[in-house]
Chain A
Amino acid sequence: MEPVIEVKSLRKTYKKRKTKELIQAVSDVTFSVNRGEIVGLLGPNGAGKTTTIKMICGLLIPDSGTITINGQNNQKKRLKSLRHISAVLEGNRNLYWRLTVRENLEYFAGNRGESKKDVANRIDELLVKFHLKDKEKELVNRLSRGMQQKLAIAVAMLAESDVILLDEPTLGLDVETGYEVRELLREIVQEYDRTIIISTHDMDVVQDLCDRTIIVNKGKIVTDDKVENLLRLFEVRSYTISLSALLSEKQQILLDQKFPDYKYTPDTIGSKLEIDLAKSEEIYDLFDILKMNMTPVESIDRGTINFEQIFMKIVKGEQQNVLVQSS
């Protein structure tokens, strides 16, 4: 598979206007994205997601490192590389509030050098797809936030670029609208074969849409892996063990030393133990501890884990030692 985007050793430092304090927003970020891939860019607030996206969009010049889009360096061939890219940044604000839905689409197309006529059919198609057809003559400032967000995505789609970058597309939307936008994105992915990079805090977006996720923290990539691999990886290592007796004090102390995050729930007849293993071999250590008192084991189940929990674990660095690739 050929990469559409290649990002190499990206670095960006901001200087705060007032305090002159330096903020390293992105330090040494390297990744590539293949054609047709949907990549989720995750990370806590201030991790450097927006900064990375803006550098790919050519809105921000990196201190060092290179970005190649369809084989073109986006510094040396800035305008040419911009032909392959469109983006929705910062939610619904990047629209003209005094223009109607249709006028916005036409104006942005015009600014890319296309005439109203060139895009008329494409606009109709998008308006139908985005359920905005009956609002096409509505001024943007009269639309709901969700509709504005959909329009912003439609504007990005209209450019027919290979790559679309979306910075927090479901931010500030209610559950229902968030769901609708997600469904829309899924349709786009299935029907239009675009390459998409989505930055988000919304784990549903990642689990529903993304093939792969890149997790950044403090300007660095901490994980870059397929979503399913991460889910499997963490699932394999997460266990729920039902015991038909209680654990002794000594066993608990040993567990605490070996698995600091384990969860123990004693019950009237037995007890439950939830444990995350850093390495699969560690299960034997667990068995050794149980064997001490010959604690009867009733069942061992794989724990269920959702992406949110995985994300929290990774970011907290709890799993630092296993963050090397699973494959």
Chain B
Amino acid sequence: MSWFNLLKANLRKEYLEMKRYLPNTIAMVLTFYILFIGMFFGIQIIGDPTTQDINIQFTIVNYIFWFFAMMTVNAIGWQITNEAMRGTLEQLSMSPMGIWKIMLMRLIASTVINFIMIIALLYLSMFTSGQWLNIDVGTILPILILTIISMFGLGFIIAGLSIILKQVQAFLQILQFILAGLTFVPLSVAPFLAFFPFVKGVDLVRAVMIEGVTFTQIPMVDFLILGFNAIFYFVIGLLFFFYCERFAMNKGLLAHY
């Protein structure tokens, strides 16, 4: 029950803050859209006409995924940096639930809320470009859930780093590009990337949405890799977060003021 209350409280907070920062949210969506339009016309003008449709479809999926990863993984870093300066991080750290649970609920809450925005952006992009992708919910959902779990692992790593590093902002800027790399690079180019967080997931989502692959066509081993990545990154992320929490409690870093 207390877990559920924790989730509800964090969902509500994410929602309220998004609403109160509405101009920010709108600006973010607009930036996304303008960049997308730019890419869309770019491909139409300089791209090879024979592969144009595929290119645009790739762009939509990659770009949406990148945006999604950034909103979840990067956002938790910014949030923690802010809260350490405000002093609220110390308040959270005093919760008898344990701060990692609060962080997990934050990640889930922001994923849920961002997801709604992502769906809207996806349809907006498809509408603008006239490229309708294959939205096979039954196939995409399991892939997505496993991928998101590995993304949470990465989120925990970023959260941990944000607690112990005072100048994490620069790193967060770079992280955007790392995330872009992970979402944009096709697996066929670098197969070993399958074991990087969410690269395999994006690859499979592309296969479903662009090539129309169905659930039964996806080899078992792909799901095993996804499952392995999910557990691996989540556990590693959590352990790293615990380590950072302890480090911060030793050095008095839970407040950055």
A: residues with CB less than 8 A from B are: 14-15, 17, 51, 54, 57-61, 79-80, 82-83, 85-87, 89-90, 93-99, 103, 106-116, 118, 139, 155
Contact = CB atoms under 8 A, between A and B. Distances in A.
Interface in B117-168: 166
B210 interface: no
A14 B94 contact: no
B94 A109 contact: no
B31 interface: no
Most chain-A CB neighbours within 10 Å: which of B93, B96, B102, B246? B96
Interface residues of B, number: 36
Contact of B257 (A14, A79, A90, A103): A90
Given A99-B17, A111-B9, A82 B252 contact: no
Most chain-A CB neighbours within 10 Å: which of B102, B251, B254, B255? B255
Contact of B87 (A57, A85, A94): A94
A110 B249 CA distance: 23
Contacts of A57: 90, 94
B16 A82 contact: no
Contact of A89 (B5, B12, B90): B90
Contacts of A61: 246, 249-250
Nearest to A17: B166
B169 interface: no
Given A99-B16, A112-B95, A60 B257 contact: no
Contact of A86 (B94, B251, B252, B254): B94
B7 to A, nearest CB: 9
A194 B224 CA distance: 54
A111 B87 contact: no
Given A59-B254, A90-B87, A93-B257, A109 B9 contact: yes
B25 interface: no
Nearest to A109: B9
Contacts of A58: 93-94, 249
A106 B86 CA distance: 18
Contacts of B5: 110, 113-115, 118
Contacts of A93: 86-88, 257
Interface of B: 1-3, 5-6, 8-10, 12-13, 16-17, 20-21, 86-88, 90-98, 102, 166, 246, 249-252, 254-255, 257
Given A59-B249, A98-B17, A106 B9 contact: yes
A21 to B, nearest CB: 14
A83 B9 CA distance: 18
Rank and list the top 6 A-B pairs by shortest CB-CB distance, nearest first.
A110-B9, A113-B2, A94-B87, A93-B87, A82-B96, A83-B96
Nearest to A54: B252
7 contacts: A17-B166, A59-B252, A89-B87, A90-B87, A94-B88, A98-B21, A115-B1
Contacts of A97: 86
Contacts of A108: 91
Nearest to A92: B87
A109 B102 CA distance: 12
A54 B252 CA distance: 9
Contact of A60 (B9, B87, B91, B249): B249
Contacts of A86: 94
B103 to A, nearest CB: 11
B64 to A, nearest CB: 27
A257 to B, nearest CB: 47
Contacts of B252: 14, 51, 54, 59-60
Contacts of B94: 57-59, 82, 85-87
Given A103-B16, A111-B9, A94 B86 contact: yes
Nearest to A113: B2
A41 to B, nearest CB: 18
Nearest to B252: A60
Contacts of A116: 8-9
A77 B147 CA distance: 34
A82 B91 contact: no
Given A79-B96, A82-B96, A111 B6 contact: yes
Nearest to A15: B251
Given A61-B246, A103-B16, A110-B6, 10 more contacts: A59-B90, A90-B255, A93-B87, A94-B87, A94-B90, A99-B17, A106-B12, A110-B12, A113-B96, A116-B8
B119 to A, nearest CB: 25
A95 B9 CA distance: 15
A111 B95 contact: yes
Contacts of B254: 59-60
Contacts of A17: 166
B254 to A, nearest CB: 5
B215 to A, nearest CB: 37
